[in-house]
Structure 1
Amino acid sequence: MRVLITGATGLVGQHLLRLLIDDPRVSEIVAPTRRKLPEMNKVTNLVEADLTDVLGPLQTPLDIVFCCLGTTRREAGSKAAFIHVDYALVVDTAIAGQRLGAKHLLVVSAHGANMHSPFFYNRVKGEMENALQKQGWPRLTLIRPSLLLGERENSRAGESLMAPLFRLLPGNWRAVAARDVAAVMLREAFAPARQEVTVIESSAIPHAR
């Protein structure tokens, strides 16, 4: 199978990329990024400052699309920049995937995603999910992790402070490891279809042994 992954340099994306490389069911991985990746088996790395410039001209036929894009308002620098990454580029990824024949889209969203939320972050995530559902994918999998645990290249001070607390919280609030989110994405990509839209909440993400 040929797959597309956006967000391959991010916390979840790095883990998922390694899993895809090791999976014999995957024959080619198209991974557009803003920063060049090391040479890796099966990976076609297209590098542009804005991923939209890569996604538009892309011609590789695809079977599955993975989107691991995500930032924070502080990291992005402004509300507009956050919306560009967490909404516009996610939607652009999906549009490119559909155009190239993909039948299954898997996206990292967030716990609390709700287009009617009074909180900016959750509202944008909800609006993104709503836009994807309107595209009419044969299969759409939305994964809503709580705080992500893992080693980032650029650490987020707020997340580092909150991580010990979020490890102890119950249900969907409990922090989850990025590698576990990646493992769920790979599992769901090849699992038999249960319904058109599958939402996996944070508490349903199993912990690796």
Structure 2
Amino acid sequence: MAGKTALIAGATGLVGRELLNTLLSKDYYSKILILGRRSIEIKDNRIEEIIINFDELANYQDQISAHDYYCCLGTTMGQAKSKEAFFRVDFTYPVELGKLAKNDSQFETFCIVSSYGANSESALFYNSVKGQVEEALKDLDLKTLHIFQPSLLLGYRPHFRLWEEMAKLASSILSFFIIGSRLRFWAIRGSQVAEAMYYIATSDQEGTHVHKPLEMQKIAHQKEYKFDSSHSEVT
């Protein structure tokens, strides 16, 4: 066991839940801090839960310290009910977490789940917010920043999302007609994103990197990280 500490914010979401399972299946981390509004009710001697109010995240600096920060926070307009609430979860909270990481003497790597198509200038509110948070985190000049941009995410969600279910159905139909790497940009499993996050975060690759779906799928399949400039972007 490497004796390092991981931190997960958003461990109850699709990717966050898969990420926690991935970390628990490995012996790289001796401690896994979980930041959340409520208990995840998973028992493991490596897990330490910190129940917080994300609106007051800055007040928890003294309680939070980890080598690798994994930010899997995210919501939908349906759950958030307003653009302001959506922005707070998908922009404000991740940026505040990034600031805590920057001030943490143990900090080494910050990983965040964004979205394929993230662009601060997009006319689509969702893509615009994802682009804005990416830019804000880059501006923090973190030692190591990995931005993961999955396309349509497949996996179990406790909340039914009609448009995602329709997209999944379309994906399964198109899979009979689309072959090769093109399909890999259509959908990716949450478990594949989680595995890629783990292997990349523990690779000691410094700097700022943006990871696309095809790269994540290859890493999850190969169970290792090999830097490939054709699939990830260095900024």
TM-score of the pair, normalised by structure 1: 0.91
1:202: how far off? 1.7
Which residue number in structure 2 is paired with residue 87 of structure 1? 91
1:93-104 map, 5 Å: 93-101=97-105, 102-104=107-109
Which residue number in structure 2 is paired with residue 206 of structure 1? 217
1:1-209 map, 5 Å: 1-38=4-41, 39-48=43-52, 50-54=53-57, 56-59=59-62, 60-101=64-105, 102-167=107-172, 168=174, 170=182, 173-193=185-205, 196-206=207-217
8 Å contact from structure 2 (residues 39, 51) kept in 1: yes
Q: Provide the C-alpha distance between the structure 2 equivalents of 1:28 and 1:54, rounded to a whole number of angstroms.
A: 20
1:103: how far off? 2.0
Paired letter, 1:46: I
8 Å contact from structure 2 (residues 111, 201) kept in 1: yes
1:105 alignment partner, SS class: strand
8 Å contact from structure 1 (residues 174, 203) kept in 2: no
Q: Provide the C-alpha distance between the structure 2 equivalents of 1:109 and 1:40, rounded to a whole number of angstroms.
A: 28
The number of residues matched between the two structures is 207
* Structure 1 alignment gaps of length 5 or more: none
2:70 alignment partner, SS class: strand
Change (3 A) 1:54 1:115: closer
Paired letter, 1:182: A
Change (3 A) 1:13 1:55: farther
2:209 alignment partner, SS class: strand
8 Å contact from structure 2 (residues 149, 213) kept in 1: yes
Q: Provide the C-alpha distance between the structure 1 equivalents of 2:145 and 2:13, rounded to a whole number of angstroms.
A: 21
* Structure 2 alignment gaps of length 5 or more: 222-235
1:27 alignment partner, SS class: strand
Q: Provide the C-alpha distance between the structure 1 equivalents of 2:162 and 2:51, rounded to a whole number of angstroms.
A: 28
Q: Provide the C-alpha distance between the structure 2 equivalents of 1:36 and 1:54, rounded to a whole number of angstroms.
A: 17
The two structures, once aligned, show a CA RMSD in angstroms of 1.8
